[in-house]
Amino acid sequence: MNILILGSGGREHAFAKKLSESKKLSKLFLAPGNAGTAKIATNIAINPTDFEAVKKVVLENNIEMVVVGPEAPLVAGVHDFFLADADLKNIPVIGPKKDGAELEGSKEFSKKFMFKHGVPTAKYEAFTKETVAEGQTFLETLQPPFVLKADGLAAGKGVLILDNLEEAKMELADMLTNEKFGAASSKVVIEEYLDGIELSVFVLTDGKDYKILPSAKDYKRIGEGDKGLNTGGMGAISPVPFADKDFLTKVEERVVKPTVNGLQKDGIDYRGFIFIGLMNIDGEPFVIEYNVRMGDPETEAVLPRITSDLLDLFEGVATQTIASKSYEVDPRTATTVVVVSGGYPEAYENGKVIRGTENDVDSIVYHAGTTFNQNGEIVSAGGRVLAVTSFGDDIPSALNKSYKTIDQISFEKMNYRKDIGFDLV
Ligand code: AMP
Ligand code: GLY
């Protein structure tokens, strides 16, 4: 089977590596991919939200399945585009249509969905430019910290958590009247603060049934001790020690089943990943958010642990036979440490020559933001540059390998957190 993966990050490199291990794979393409995927697949330099360009690539290369990495093409309707096109409609897309992608595309939509289907989550109200004053009055009824969320996609930056009521009122007005986060904050969800430990659970569904993949914990802040600005993710660990059998059973019964059944009841034919961001509060799961794709860097810790054929699972999604599929998991711990450009998540420079990525005996060095310069050297091309994953019998031994591998990698101003998993050991 010929496969096209849309996207260019560490997540997509991890998909590419896992799919390239499948006996069922013929040729693998990425659009646009990175310097790491160039080693194991063919990169094609198009923008994944340019659907006409995607169509051309699919037809020219006899692509038989499309795997969508990031949310943007899904929210923009890439799956709907395929279904509406006579030449593409029989080519399966792993990723929901626009209706399902709203679970990530609109916070209000996802909150309404959770309340409708009895999925545990924080209480909330949504406000617009016309109802700023009501929003401010609502804030007065809540206890700090105050959680304000831009309704639309804001590249992971649209959530504010504030301790001070006056500041929260001001920020609400700024988000709504001045569109602080662009059109994404023309509506704002205010919700109750959930105090617990976060983790992510990943579900792959064919619209009828589902498989729950290994869980992971992500480290979002730039600074050690979870301090400083939010990033796309600085590291990940799978499995999550506190997500024991009892907790995961609660997640399946209270969250996964009502979510998959709710999609069906609402007439949303969802085929792809559901990434459930959860808060564990004294052993009880609450949903923080849905994403309609895999997490990055969680994918780089989760997929290497899946020892069976991922393409076989994807076929299960495409043919709605996932119930009859099974998969196996490596019981060891996988840890991922993300290496970023100096300055990230604020301004940083691209084009730094990266050395040492071939030192990958004890780890998998996934590329995230890399490309080639005119001399054919690997250079940085993004905030998150590499994601280094290693296995171990426990978190410290796996992390040790990742840090040793990173010691042999260098580029100007590189930065990474040296305390991934600090709260778990
Ligand atoms: P989201 O984009 O909804 O995942 O929010 C970003 C981050 O903000 C989450 O990963 C949580 O760490 C935090 N967060 C979001 N909603 C809440 C909440 N209701 N209570 C506490 N923390 C939250
Ligand atoms: N690592 C968080 C995300 O992918 O949204």
From start to end of 296-363, where are the E strands? 333-341
Give the domain CATH number at 255: 3.30.470.20
Read off the pLDDT of each residue in 119-138 and give the average, rounded to a whole number: 93
Residue 133 CA to ligand 2 centre (angstroms): 33
CA distance 77 to 74: 5
In a domain, 109, yes or no: no
Chain segment 165-198, per-residue pLDDT in tens: 999 999 999 889 888 887 787 889 999 999 999 9
Instruction: Please work out whether the CB of residue 295 comes within 6 Å of at least one atom of ligand 2.
Output: yes
For residues 382 and 399, state if they share a domain: yes
Distance of CA 262 to the CA centre of its chain: 22
Share of the chain above pLDDT 70, in %: 100
Structure tokens at 125: 């109200």
pLDDT at 116: 98
Residue 358 is part of which domain span? 197-407
Q: Which atom of ligand 1 is nearest to the CA of 194?
A: 20
pLDDT band for position 15 (cuts 50, 70, 90) = very high
Token reading at 405: 């591998």
Nearest CA to ligand 1 atom 12: 198
The three-state DSSP-derived secondary structure of 228-274 is EEECCCCEEEECCCCCCHHHHHHHHHHHHHHHHHHHHHCCCCCCEEE
Q: What is the pLDDT of residues 264-285, one digit of tens each?
A: 999 999 999 999 999 999 999 9
Q: Which segments within 141-194 are labelled E, that is strand?
A: 146-150, 159-162, 187-191
DSSP 95-126: S--HHHHHHHH-HHHHHHHHHHTT--B--EEE
φ/ψ of 160, rounded to 5, equals -115, 135
Q: Look at ligand 2, atom 5, and give the residue with the nearest C-alpha.
A: 295
Same domain, 162 and 232: no
The full length of the chain comes to: 425
In a domain, 258, yes or no: yes
CA distance 277 to 327: 23
* Ligand 1 geometric centre to CA of 193 (Å): 8
Please tell me the distance between residue 320's alpha carbon and the centre of ligand 2 in angstroms. 27
Same domain, yes or no: 141 and 68: no
**Separation in Å, CA 217 to CA 48, 145, 236, 300:** 28, 23, 5, 12
Atom of ligand 1 nearest to the CA of 277: 4
